[in-house]
């Protein structure tokens, strides 16, 4: 959590962490209905509706009819939304590269091993 907070502080851009995370999930797994998107992000439908309204007004997402059910609307990320993600990743990667550059080769090796273990813990089902 401390690393996440530090990355947020050091790479803070125009958009909040929750907006960047929501755009990231929409980019990698969308398009979604608002209900699906809210579930993926772990927020309430009303909260997602507010966020989606803001992102729509900023042209970071767009609406499209569901191809299988004309009663549903799905949202997808726009090119402008993808640029926001890329700018955020660039800032974050630059910060991390600078910090990692201060580590010894042994520390980098240990960090690589720890990252592998942490990924396994996160990806394994209980």
Domains and CATH numbers, the chain: 2-123 (1.10.10.10)
Residue-level pLDDT, tens digit, the chain, 126 residues: 888 788 878 777 788 888 998 999 999 999 999 999 999 999 999 999 999 999 999 999 999 999 999 899 999 999 999 999 999 999 989 999 999 999 999 999 999 999 999 999 988 776
In which element (H, E) is residue 64 found? strand 61-65
In which element (H, E) is residue 116 found? helix 105-123
Q: Residue 51: its pLDDT value, please?
A: 96
Q: Residue 8: its pLDDT value, please?
A: 78
Distance of CA 34 to the CA centre of its chain: 16
């Amino acid at each position: 959590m401390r690393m996440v907070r530090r990355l947020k502080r050091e790479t803070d851009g125009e958009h909040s962490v929750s907006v960047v995370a929501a755009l990231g999930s929409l980019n990698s797994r969308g398009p979604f209905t608002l209900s699906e998107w809210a579930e993926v992000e772990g927020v309430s439908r009303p909260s997602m509706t507010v966020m989606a309204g803001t992102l729509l007004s900023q042209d970071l997402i767009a609406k499209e009819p569901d191809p299988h059910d004309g009663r549903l609307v799905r949202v997808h990320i726009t090119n402008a939304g993808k640029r926001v993600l890329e700018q955020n990743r660039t800032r974050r990667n630059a910060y991390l590269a600078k910090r990692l550059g201060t580590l010894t080769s042994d520390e980098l090796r240990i960090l690589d091993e720890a990252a592998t273990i942490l990924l396994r813990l996160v990806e394994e089902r209980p």
